């Protein structure tokens, strides 16, 4: 483990055939098991719980009651000293606690006050999620925390503002806080919440039964309380002749970071990774196109650094090198790196599932069958049993190895949405397994 508390490991087949241009590498970033070995953030964490209070939250009535219980469960998990707030959202948004639009500091008294305030939440009105996000931005900006995180709950579609208004609100929040999104029931749009969670480096999932809300909220808050380091980025430097094809997180789930690049120099850019907890490990797939060199020549295709930003500047927490060596030895150049192949398949599987479900929704059974069948084959090959089980609720699997499937005639909305929301979750493959 490096002195910074992080390690950066590169796994690749560095050998390219004569004329070869594409260099792939899996970058594994791991934080120290002990929080004392990690860089100190300097300011406490801040949390906001955003609750949909639109009229549909009263159908059935247990939904709103379960949401109130979930807010209380999350508040109970807050660590002393954490800044926090509760926000209610309909076609408008307002601070529930503290009611003046600031943040309270968690202790026994404020936790009790917040739970009393949340117990008065009632369902009425419409849904304008962008308003909720803007309200949360304004509240977060009242307190100087580096680790800012929100939980957002909704049960419906964003019907009372335009997609452009929501997109603008999401953009306003980027870089300010992370957000885990949850949809309760089956009347919300996976794509809408995925846009928020992807842009704000969070997660999205379905809670089919309102009874599961409290446990899920408590788990999300426990996870947030475990984060110790904020504003960490992957900085990728490439030589002048090289072009980055993509940078993707590939474990524990697929998140395409390519479009999130912030230029930090003539040949370097930063890709956000969000906050980190002690003992956390993630894999990233970096693909670079280079100008080919002669047989026997070697070049540095990329330098990948983990960088923490603070008011005093940037600190390099770890670094790894991606190399390219040209060879006329076909045995060397055609050997596919097992981890690169595994994660390429996992990323393809996620896209196939989302495209296949959309084709099914549009009535294009031929496309849906082909794409979901291919996803079944990839899930089987990679050992992704959780995704395989979710797929089996949408298609009848005739032969998993070949991806031969039939679309089920009737599929529960909750099963389809669970497959969609969890399509990006991957099976981790470590270097020693490859």
Interval 242-263: pLDDT, tens: 999 999 999 999 999 999 999 9
Enter the pTM of the model: 0.94
Residue 1's pLDDT is 42
Measured over the CA atoms of residue 310, residue 314, residue 315 and residue 320, the dihedral's sign is positive
Mean pLDDT computed over 188-209: 97
Query: Are 48 and 136 in contact, with CB atoms under 8 Å apart?
Result: yes
User: In this model, does residue 266 exceed pLDDT 70?
Assistant: yes
Domain 46-225 has CATH 3.40.50.410: yes
User: In this model, does residue 3 exceed pLDDT 70?
Assistant: no
- When pLDDT is cut at 50, 70 and 90, the band that residue 177 belongs to is very high
CATH number for the region 339-421 comes to: 1.20.120.1690
User: In this model, does residue 233 exceed pLDDT 60?
Assistant: yes
How large a percentage of the chain has pLDDT more than 90?
91
Mean pLDDT computed over 278-300: 96
Residue 135's pLDDT is 98
Residue (of 420, 28, 13, 422) closest to 249 by Cα position: 28
Q: Which residues have a Cβ under 8 Å from the Cβ of 358 and sit 6 or more positions away?
A: none
Residue 5's pLDDT is 86
Mean pLDDT computed over 203-222: 98
CATH of 6-40+229-331, one of 3.40.50.1980, 1.25.10.10, 3.40.50.620, 2.60.40.3670: 2.60.40.3670
Residue (of 251, 187, 303) closest to 427 by Cα position: 251
* Diameter over CA atoms, the chain: 72
User: In this model, does residue 147 exceed pLDDT 50?
Assistant: yes
Residue 42's pLDDT is 58
Measured over the CA atoms of residue 211, residue 214, residue 217 and residue 218, the dihedral's sign is negative
Mean pLDDT computed over 375-391: 97
Q: What span, in angstroms and rounded, lies between the C-alpha atoms of 419 and 173?
A: 27
Mean pLDDT computed over 317-337: 96
Distances (CA, A) of 199 to 132, 140, 181, 305, 338: 16, 17, 11, 22, 30
Q: Which residues have a Cβ under 8 Å from the Cβ of 229 and sit 6 or more positions away?
A: 5, 31, 38, 39, 41, 275, 276, 308
Q: What span, in angstroms and rounded, lies between the C-alpha atoms of 91 and 85?
A: 19
Q: What are the domain boundaries of the chain?
A: 6-40+229-331, 46-225, 339-421
What's the mean pLDDT when you consider all of the chain? 95
pLDDT digits (tens, 9 = 90+) for 36-77: 777 755 568 999 999 999 999 999 989 999 999 999 999 999
- When pLDDT is cut at 50, 70 and 90, the band that residue 368 belongs to is very high
**Environment class of 64 (CB within 10 Å of its CB; exposed 0-12, middle 13-18, buried 19+):** buried
Mean pLDDT computed over 84-112: 98
């Amino acid at each position: 483990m490096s002195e910074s508390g992080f390690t950066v490991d590169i796994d690749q087949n560095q050998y390219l055939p004569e004329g070869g241009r594409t260099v792939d590498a899996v970058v594994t970033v791991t934080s120290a098991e002990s929080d004392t070995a990690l860089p100190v953030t300097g300011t406490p964490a801040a949390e906001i719980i955003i609750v949909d209070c639109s009229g549909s939250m009263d159908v059935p009535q247990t939904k709103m009651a379960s949401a109130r219980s979930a807010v209380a469960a999350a508040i109970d998990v807050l660590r002393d000293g954490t800044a926090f707030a509760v926000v209610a959202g309909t076609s408008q948004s307002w601070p529930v606690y503290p009611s003046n639009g600031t943040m309270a500091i968690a202790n026994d008294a404020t936790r009790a006050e917040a739970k009393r305030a949340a117990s008065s939440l009632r369902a009425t009105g419409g849904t304008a999620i962008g308003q909720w996000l803007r309200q949360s931005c304004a509240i977060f900006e009242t307190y100087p925390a580096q680790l800012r995180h929100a939980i957002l709950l909704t049960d419906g579609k964003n019907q009372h503002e335009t997609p452009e208004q929501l997109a603008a609100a999401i953009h306003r929040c980027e870089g300010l806080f992370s957000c885990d999104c949850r949809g309760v029931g089956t009347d919300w749009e996976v794509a809408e919440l995925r846009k928020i969670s992807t842009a704000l480096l969070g997660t999205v999932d379905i809670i089919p039964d309102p009874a599961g809300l409290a446990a899920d909220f408590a788990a999300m808050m426990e996870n947030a309380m475990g984060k110790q380091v904020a504003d960490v980025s992957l900085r990728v430097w490439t030589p002048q002749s090289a072009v980055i094809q993509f940078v993707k997180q590939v474990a524990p789930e697929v998140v395409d970071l390519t479009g999130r690049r912030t230029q930090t120099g003539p040949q370097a850019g930063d890709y956000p990774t969000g906050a980190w907890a002690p003992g956390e490990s993630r894999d990233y797939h970096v693909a670079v196109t280079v100008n080919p060199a002669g047989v026997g020549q070697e070049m540095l295709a990329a330098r990948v650094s983990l960088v923490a930003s603070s008011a005093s500047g940037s600190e390099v927490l770890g670094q790894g090198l991606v190399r390219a060596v040209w060879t006329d030895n076909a045995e060397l150049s055609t050997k596919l790196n097992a981890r690169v192949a595994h994660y390429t398949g996992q990323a393809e599987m996620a896209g196939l599932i989302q495209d296949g479900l959309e084709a099914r929704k549009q009535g294009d059974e031929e496309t849906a069958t082909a794409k979901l069948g291919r996803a079944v084959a990839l899930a089987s090959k990679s050992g992704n049993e959780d995704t395989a089980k979710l797929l089996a609720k949408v298609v009848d699997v005739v032969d998993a190895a070949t991806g031969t499937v039939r679309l089920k005639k009737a599929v529960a909305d909750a099963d389809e949405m669970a497959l969609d929301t969890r399509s990006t979750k991957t099976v981790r493959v470590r270097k020693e397994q490859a």
